[in-house]
A and B are shown apart, each in its own frame.
Chain A
Amino acid sequence: MSVDLQLKTLKEHSRKEIFLCVVRAPGGSRIFVGASDGNVYDVDPLAEKPDFQPLAGHASFVTGVAVAGDLLVSGSYDCKLLWRKLAGDEIVHSVENAHSRWIRKVVASPDGRLIATVGDDMVCRLWEAPSGKLLHELRGHDEQTPHHFPSMLYTCAFSADGQRLATADKTGRICLWDVSTGARIKQLEAPGFYTWDPRQRIHSIGGTRSLAFTPDGKSLLAGGIGAIGNIDHLDGPARVETFDLESGQSTHVFSGDAKGLVEQLVFHAEGKWLLGVGGDNGGFWQVYDLAEKKVVRSEKAPMHVHAAALSDDAMQLCAVGHGKVVVWQVENAAPGSN
């Protein structure tokens, strides 16, 4: 893989909400966006005057949305999971206290049969997508940090073949799970994502915020923020670390010019390129070259980007974040590259 990308803004919509997660509806340009006001918004961001249709049901920040078949599943800091039909907004299933603490992420398996959720109760739960039946509880993350504070289970991701699942927490622990059995396969450690300040401010910041398997399933990438000097701010390097899954060893750390959290990693389905999005008080997007092990491009985004969703043809990237929804056209920056 050796490619440089350019993102050209097609649409940019300003809103008062903070958008925390996004998923595309199958086909077309319709998206579902989780927001800080407790709504999921159903919107076509390519429309001339997009109509942000609120889907109510949550009582706090909506931090996870996933599409599985004809269902939309959403999770929130209110600890609740909601299943609703993509057509219309009928809630067909709900689980109160699906996690005993904040739900941080909701993802669907590639075949749409499973839903994985993670929360600050430090448990990953696997659900049968159509029925909402709980299949497995995956426990491998400590409830407290080494410094006796509550830890946080930020993120999870399925492998492309859907057989494995990775989960990652605040301290940089990453667990690898067998999806069919719920057994833990491997544990990786990425402490470079966790900053504990024992002297100046005596608390912590950071955490592993994003995960992505390489399409061939041989490596795992984790995103977040590196060591921070002044933990009052997200004043540390945007950090992406790669792990070889056979050896379990860290193989490289990408650390470019951008500062802040890498909130999401987006792979081209065939592995042609890898994008990272995130931010501090502002936002950024970055392109990583895994072969050359370097950040080939790092650009400012119009807002702190919390999440992004790629179109099926990999030609459009919809990014959501602090007060904005942006649609970018994905273009090769270097003519002749694949």
Chain B
Amino acid sequence: MKYKAEIDIMPLKEILDPQGKAVKLGLKNLGLPEILDARIGKHITLEIEAENKGAAEEKVAFACKKLLANLIMEDFKYKVTEA
């Protein structure tokens, strides 16, 4: 079976995100001072060959923990669906 994973990786809340801060300023300059905060992360999609959804999720979690995210600075969430 083929599965598709949609992964979101975000900087941890307690860590300053300078990119998000700069974008927030840009939004304010655009005339949107009501946007109170912006944080920027990464969106990654993967195609996976796996026996079932559970096995695919296990592979995605392993990929996130070992390579795609650095848990010292980021957290991640993902959704796996049939491709």
Q: Do A and B come from one complex?
A: no
B-side residues, CB < 8 A to A, are: none
